[in-house]
Chains A and B, each alone.
Chain A
Amino acid sequence: MTWSEMQPLLSQACWDTLYMVGWSTLIAVVGGLPLGILLVLTDRGGLLQNVVANKVIGQVVNVARSMPFIILMVALMGLTRSITGTTIGREAAIVPLAIGAIPFFARLVETAVREVDGGLVEAVQSMGGNTWTIVRKVLVPESLPSLIASTTTTIVALIGYSAMAGTVGAGGLGDIAIRYGYQRFETQMMWITVGILAVVISVIQFAGDFAARALHRRGGRSGPAPKLRLLKAKEPAAADVGKVA
């Protein structure tokens, strides 16, 4: 294949990949952020402690996360059809991509939010703030650097998943690499897609890291990351009572 033959294929594939990853990232963030925060709030000792809800959400997230993406895609075909009217094409691929990424992102959000110092929550409580105020003014802004890093990780993972979306005719770089590079022995085409993917991933990772670090260093000093403390001591045993007193 000559470059003039490859070029339109590649640019279309790039666009398809970005389209799928972009939309599914957006949906994953919108869906995963509240879910991750709920996982922290409903946990034992959390502000909205609800052990049953916590277990249910946790279990759903775990199952969805451990599902191989290609199986999730096939399993969700019915849902995909009811949302997009088809199971083929890039729009159709966005549905399983987003649903696969929501629990993934939710777990990362949970970890990030858990690292917010419980003392800050206590401080806002002592000012008379309610749970919503604490989420908006403490949990999200204070974990923002970690949340940005989590979003970067999710985007990179979604680029990986999107390579499988070719199996439902969604196109994208992964699809090109398999159809041309693997099935037609166009080795050159394969290496070009690999190169493009490497560049795209590096750029995203770099941008994400840069943004996270800039936020973390607010105030011009690169202090150590905030001390890890749980929202509240989980079970104040005798020794813990000693510590808080």
Chain B
Amino acid sequence: MHPCPGTPTPVHSTVTETHVITTSGLTKVYRSRGRDVTALDGVDLHVREGEVYGVIGQSGAGKSSLIRCVNLLERPTSGTVTVAGQDLTALAGRGPRAGKELRRARSRIGMVFQHFNLLSSRTVQDNVELPLEILGQSGRARSRKALELLDLVGLADKAKAYPAQLSGGQKQRVGIARALAGDPKVLLSDEATSALDPETTRSILQLLRDLNRQLGLTVLLITHEMDVVKSICDSAALMERGRIVESGTVSELLATPGSELAAALFPVSGERTGADRTVLDITFQGEAATQPVISQLSRTYNIDISILGAAIDTVGGLQIGRMRIELPGRYEDNVVPVGFLREQGLQIDVVGQENLLVKEGAK
């Protein structure tokens, strides 16, 4: 599911091939009223240093359990979690309480929350200072660091305000500043933008992106919004019923025939006009986008091509085009033209046969 080391060139300069978060065989079973509910079912996740990794899925897919298992707010039933080379599951101990070692490790992992979770009894600055108090830093060092971080997230003038006086976006900025107080290598984002309006969502995502670039911060985020993955993620994984069904860098996913995630990231629409027709989705990336393939196809095979839908977009910082075309005749009649298109280096998905391909692709 994950590329072998060295296969793709990193999209962004901050990404290295070192895995900073690794989960293997992560399983979480909740026991409730004698019934077992499996929230995570053998999740293997590899997040590279310096990348923004998005886990997307519907409610109940297990995303939240997954991110909570990464800093062991939830104890996995089995499997291991390694963050920055440290096996956290080994630090956990048996009881439900977190030992000293685990708490130390947690202080090096930042976390931001959907509902911000700021203390209403403290000012903005005191909220940001809280993790530093836990680390036992002196008052002066705390206040200097807090003001520095508030400046970084653009809230230097709100240091003395209380959370109740801030807007949602400002609260999340405070949440981010607080998460960064312990100089973490890794930031976990639990639906950080889901309680925000679209405009604020964009600005918070931009902030996360900037922090990722400037500080080389690795971000693991979970979301149910495809737009979040589309705008800032280098890699993504799709979760369904406690399993990761697809994962990889965004460019790999887009190049995977029949990828559900790719189709969702970049949908094209258009309905088949008749029964005896073949509908193809063509994905253009890089070089292939410059070739006049449609007219070549039409001339070479003397067929009429209708364009049902087309779009060009930027996904994960990558220019990409998609087009849905319709050829006369059944798929069996069009094997040769489809072969021609594939030869041109284009990615072709035959609509209607997707289900077959998805199953192959997921294996």
Residues of A within 8 A of B (CB): 47-49, 117, 119-120, 122-131, 133, 137-138, 141-142, 144, 215, 218-221, 223, 226, 235-238, 240-245
User: Are the C-beta atoms of A235 and B113 separated by less than 8 Å?
Assistant: no
User: Are the C-beta atoms of B117 and A130 separated by less than 8 Å?
Assistant: no
Give the docked Cα–Cα distance between A146 and B337 (Å). 74
Residues of A within 8 A of B135 (CB): 128
Jot down 27 A-B pairs with beta carbons below 8 A, ordered by A. Answer: A48-B97, A119-B115, A120-B119, A122-B73, A122-B113, A126-B106, A126-B109, A126-B188, A127-B106, A127-B130, A127-B131, A128-B104, A129-B134, A130-B103, A131-B97, A137-B119, A141-B121, A219-B163, A219-B164, A235-B32, A236-B30, A238-B37, A241-B39, A241-B62, A242-B60, A245-B60, A245-B62
Give the docked Cα–Cα distance between A226 and B71 (Å). 26
CB-CB contacts of B103-125 with A at 8 A, as 1s and 0s?
A: 11111010101010101111000
Whether B304 is near chain A, meaning CB under 8 Å from some CB there, is: no
User: Are the C-beta atoms of A219 and B161 separated by less than 8 Å?
Assistant: yes
Which residue of B has the minimal Cβ distance to A143? B121
User: Are the C-beta atoms of B121 and A242 separated by less than 8 Å?
Assistant: no
User: Are the C-beta atoms of A133 and B120 separated by less than 8 Å?
Assistant: no
Give the docked Cα–Cα distance between A80 and B122 (Å). 43
Residues of B within 8 A of A (CB): 30, 32-33, 35, 37, 39, 57, 59-65, 71, 73, 96-98, 103-107, 109, 111, 113, 115, 117, 119-122, 130-131, 133-135, 161-165, 178, 182, 188
Q: Which of B37, B63, B107, B188 has the most CB of A within 10 A?
A: B37
User: Are the C-beta atoms of B104 and A120 separated by less than 8 Å?
Assistant: no
Residues of A within 8 A of B161 (CB): 219
Give the docked Cα–Cα distance between A223 and B63 (Å). 31
Which residue of B has the minimal Cβ distance to A136? B133
Given A48-B97, A245-B65, the answer on whether A125 and B106 have CB atoms closer than 8 Å is: yes
Q: Which 7 residue pairs are nearest across A and B when measured between Cβ atoms?
A: A219-B162, A128-B107, A242-B60, A219-B164, A123-B117, A128-B103, A127-B131
User: Are the C-beta atoms of B61 and A245 separated by less than 8 Å?
Assistant: yes
User: Are the C-beta atoms of A137 and B120 separated by less than 8 Å?
Assistant: no
Give the docked Cα–Cα distance between A240 and B64 (Å). 12
Partner among B63, B98, B109, B111 whose Cβ is within 8 Å of the Cβ of A123:
B111
Give the docked Cα–Cα distance between A220 and B105 (Å). 37
Given A141-B119, A218-B121, the answer on whether A128 and B96 have CB atoms closer than 8 Å is: no
Partner among A120, A128, A131 whose Cβ is within 8 Å of the Cβ of B117:
A120
User: Are the C-beta atoms of B165 and A221 separated by less than 8 Å?
Assistant: yes
Q: Which of B71, B120, B133 has the most CB of A within 10 A?
A: B120
A54 to chain B, nearest CB (A): 14
Residues of B within 8 A of A129 (CB): 103, 134
User: Are the C-beta atoms of A137 and B60 separated by less than 8 Å?
Assistant: no
B58 to chain A, nearest CB (A): 8
Which residue of B has the minimal Cβ distance to A239? B60
Residues of B within 8 A of A215 (CB): 121
Which residue of A has the minimal Cβ distance to B28? A241
B328 to chain A, nearest CB (A): 46
Give the docked Cα–Cα distance between A223 and B182 (Å). 31
Give the docked Cα–Cα distance between A141 and B119 (Å). 9
User: Are the C-beta atoms of A218 and B164 separated by less than 8 Å?
Assistant: yes
User: Are the C-beta atoms of A219 and B120 separated by less than 8 Å?
Assistant: yes
Give the docked Cα–Cα distance between A66 and B98 (Å). 37
Residues of B within 8 A of A235 (CB): 32-33
Give the docked Cα–Cα distance between A124 and B98 (Å). 12
Given A218-B120, A236-B32, the answer on whether A126 and B71 have CB atoms closer than 8 Å is: yes
Given A218-B164, A237-B33, A245-B59, the answer on whether A127 and B117 have CB atoms closer than 8 Å is: no
A212 to chain B, nearest CB (A): 13
Residues of B within 8 A of A238 (CB): 32, 35, 37
Which residue of B has the minimal Cβ distance to A119? B117
Residues of B within 8 A of A123 (CB): 111, 113, 117
Partner among B109, B115, B121 whose Cβ is within 8 Å of the Cβ of A144:
B121
User: Are the C-beta atoms of A127 and B107 separated by less than 8 Å?
Assistant: yes
A145 to chain B, nearest CB (A): 9
Residues of B within 8 A of A124 (CB): 130, 134
Give the docked Cα–Cα distance between A141 and B163 (Å). 14
Residues of A within 8 A of B98 (CB): 125, 130
B164 to chain A, nearest CB (A): 4
B335 to chain A, nearest CB (A): 43
Q: Which of B64, B107, B119, B161 has the most CB of A within 10 A?
A: B119
